[in-house]
A = this chain, B = another copy of it.
């Protein structure tokens, strides 16, 4: 089960915004795209989806750009995945009546496993993990 780059791009964007959340100002798409290695025009589309999911918000005009809609501690990995793809995990078997009941049960187990772990990871945690690692190199 291979998922597309879109979710990776989205996660990078949210992580980067999380790392700059303290500073408060809005960040431009261009800066985000160049530092994260994402095609700028594609990133725009992703950010719009993230915005309609209330994960980020935007400011227009001069000094405009994007920033998180809420603190990184309140944004989970699952939130971002659900925004980009429909669900964190989905199989045709889950909605096909032809699929045997015992098999659907297995699919549900997988879905639940992904959901719980994805919901447990917040971007606050990721930022702290990155900061800790950076601190190690400071010694």
Residues of A within 8 A of B (CB): 1-5, 7-8, 11-12, 15, 36-37, 77, 81, 85-93, 96, 98-103, 105-107, 109-110, 113-114, 116-118, 121, 126-127, 129-130, 133
Contact = CB atoms under 8 A, between A and B. Distances in A.
B87 A103 contact: no
A90 to B, nearest CB: 4
Main secondary structure, interface of A, reads helix
A12 B100 contact: yes
A3 B116 CA distance: 19
Given A8-B96, A110-B77, A133 B102 contact: yes
Nearest to A86: B2
A4 B110 CA distance: 15
A52 B51 CA distance: 46
B15 A102 contact: yes
B1 A85 contact: yes
A88 B1 contact: yes
A5 B90 CA distance: 11
